[in-house]
Amino acid sequence: KRIFNGLLIGAAVGTGFAAFENIQYMFMGNQLASMSDALIRTLYSIATHTEWCAIATAALVIVKGSKNLSTSTFLNAKFLRFFVLVILIHMFWDWNLLYNFRKIVIPALVLITWLTIFVLIHAGLREVKELQSAVNNDSISNKGGEDYSN
Q: Is the pTM of this model over 0.85?
A: no
Strand partners, 28: 31
Report the distance separating Cα 19 and Cα 131, nearest Å: 35
Locate the DSSP E strands across the chain: 27-28, 31-32
- CA dist 6 → 33, 49, 98, 124 (Å): 34, 15, 32, 10
Report the distance separating Cα 11 and Cα 119, nearest Å: 15
Cβ-Cβ contacts under 8 Å for 45 (sequence gap 6 or more): 18, 22
pLDDT (tens, 9 = 90+) of the chain, 150 residues, equals: 899 999 999 999 999 998 888 888 788 777 787 888 788 887 888 889 999 999 999 999 999 988 999 999 999 999 999 999 999 999 999 888 877 888 899 999 999 999 999 999 999 999 999 989 888 887 777 665 555 454
